[in-house]
Copies of this chain bind each other. A is one copy, B any other.
């Protein structure tokens, strides 16, 4: 099954990220092994790949692969690096929060291949649209990881550990916190007898505008207009906790554009 010039890849982990990356890489490389603590989980992924062995013992990890990709929970990465004794080849992890230095002194060639996307096993994701961020132990390794990432996606950028952390912070604001506000909106809608669906076209239009002219330029709403009457009347309809959230976010918007005006 070995193809000339094609990279031999081992996946350490068989979760959501590993599944999506392995399925995508299997089209352009040879994914030869999937390791998991749980053989059934390793096997579930391995059977979906062209010619891949499922393993659950660290000593079974083949020493002659080109690339080893650790897709595990943040806490588990350091332990995996110690547990597996294979040290040749290129070693990567896929975590936004774990610094590259986790490999320091334990491997020669290493780096990070971080996909900025949320994956779940059940939902198909077109990996070619996912932005990847890469970091390598030395420039030649960064170049090698960049090449690997380009096999998966056209959107590949360099990111050192600090930049990856900033990406994560940005994602917390843009996704986790925005999602929380959608949950609050959903609660308000339910009170009024509606479902979250009624707001989706408006959210999509808001996002399209943010992409088009930037979220800063695209800001609208009572706080942006400085409409304190509406702000007060909205807060009067909310529970105390939601009213505090409404006021705080309104104040943050007011400050944002006040600062601009003062510049």
Contacts and interface: CB of A to CB of B under 8 A. Distances in A.
Contact of A216 (B155, B186, B198, B238): B186
A176 interface: yes
Interface in A215-236: 215-216, 218-224, 230, 233-234
Given A166-B192, A170-B199, A172-B221, A179 B117 contact: no
> Counting chain B CB atoms within 10 Å of each CB, which of A157, A187, A189, A209 scores highest?
A189
A248 interface: yes
A192 B167 contact: yes
Interface in A143-199: 155, 157, 159, 162-163, 165-189, 191-194, 196-199
B191 A206 contact: no
B176 A182 contact: no
B157 A198 contact: yes
B180 A166 contact: no
B198 A173 contact: no
A200 interface: yes
Interface string A106-126: 000000000011101000010
A6 interface: no
A237 B165 contact: yes
A255 B165 CA distance: 25
B116 A199 contact: yes
A176 B211 contact: no
Given A173-B246, A178-B182, A203 B207 contact: yes
A76 interface: no
A162 B207 CA distance: 27
Contacts of A202: 116-118, 171, 174-175
A59 interface: no
Contact of A197 (B189, B199, B211, B230): B211
Interface in A55-69: none
Interface string A41-65: 0000000000000000000000000
Contacts of A199: 116, 170-171, 174-175
3 smallest beta-carbon distances between A and B, as pairs:
A176-B221, A166-B192, A174-B185
Interface of A: 97, 116-118, 120, 125, 129-131, 155, 157, 159, 162-163, 165-189, 191-194, 196-207, 209-211, 214-216, 218-224, 230, 233-234, 237-238, 241, 245-246, 248-249, 252-253, 255-256
